[in-house]
Amino acid sequence: MKAIILVIDGLADRPVKALNYKTPLEASDRNNLNALAEKGITGILDPISPGIRAGSDTSHLAILGYDPFKVYTGRGPFEASGMGIELTGGDVAFRCNFATVDNNLIVKDRRAGRIENTEELEKAIAEKVKLEVDYEFKSLKYRATLVLKGKDLSCEVSDTDPHESRVKVKKPEALKKEAEKTAEILWDFSIKAHRVLKEYPINKNRELPANFLLARGAGITPELRSFKEKYNINAACIATTAIIKGITKLAGFDLIEAEADYSARISQAIDALNTRDLVLINIKEADEAGHDNKPEEKIRVIEKLDRSMDKLLGFVRENYLVVLPDHSTPCGVGEHTGDTVPVLIAGPEVRSDSVERFDERSTTLGGLGRIRAKHIMPIILDLMNKSHKFGA
Q: What is the pLDDT of residues 213-263, one digit of tens each?
A: 999 999 998 989 999 999 999 999 999 999 999 999 999 999 999 999 999
Q: How many CB atoms lie within 10 A of CB 334?
A: 14
Q: What is the pLDDT of residues 107-132, one digit of tens each?
A: 999 999 999 999 999 999 999 999 99
Mean of the per-residue pLDDT values of the chain: 97
In a domain, residue 389? The reply is no
- Quickly state the pLDDT bin for 212 (edges 50, 70, 90): very high
Counting every residue written for the chain, the total comes to: 392
> Within this chain, do residues 66 and 111 fall inside the same structural domain, yes or no?
no
- Clarify whether residues 68 and 139 are in a common domain: no
Q: Which domain holds residue 28?
A: 3-72+224-383
Instruction: State the pLDDT at residue 357.
Output: 99
CATH of the domain at 260: 3.40.720.10
Last residue of a domain, which of 191, 219, 247?
A: 219
Q: Is 180 found in the same domain as 107?
A: yes
Mean of pLDDT values over 34-49: 99
pLDDT in tens, 187-198: 999 999 999 999
Domain end residue (candidates: 189, 219, 249): 219
In tens, the pLDDT along 260-273 reads 999 999 999 999 99
Residue 391: inside a domain, yes or no? no
Q: Are residues 61 and 87 in the same domain?
A: no
392 within a domain of the structure (yes/no) = no
| Interval 75-105: pLDDT, tens | 999 999 999 998 888 899 999 999 999 999 9
pLDDT at 89: 83
Q: Model pTM? A: 0.92
Is residue 197 domain-shared with residue 130, that is, in the same domain?
A: yes
Q: CB–CB of 180/206 below 8 Å?
A: no
DSSP 225: -
355 and 228, same structural domain? yes
Per-residue pLDDT, 317? 98
Together in a domain, 113 and 204: yes
Q: By CB neighbour count within 10 A (0-12 exposed, 13-18 middle, 19+ buried), where does 278 fall?
A: buried
Q: In degrees, to the nearest 5, what angle opens at C-alpha 147 toward C-alphas 70 and 116?
A: 105
Render 43-76 in DSSP notation, one character per residue: EEEESSSTT----HHHHHHHHTT--HHHH---SH
Bridge partners of 202, per DSSP, are none
Structural domains counted in the chain: 2
| Mutual angle of helices 242-250 and 56-63, in 10-degree steps | 40
| pLDDT(9) > 90 | yes
Q: Are residues 89 and 32 in the same domain?
A: no
Q: For residues 33 and 309, is the Cβ–Cβ distance under 8 A? A: yes
Share of the chain above pLDDT 90, in %: 97
Q: Does 312 reside within a domain? A: yes
Residues 334, 379, single domain; the answer is yes
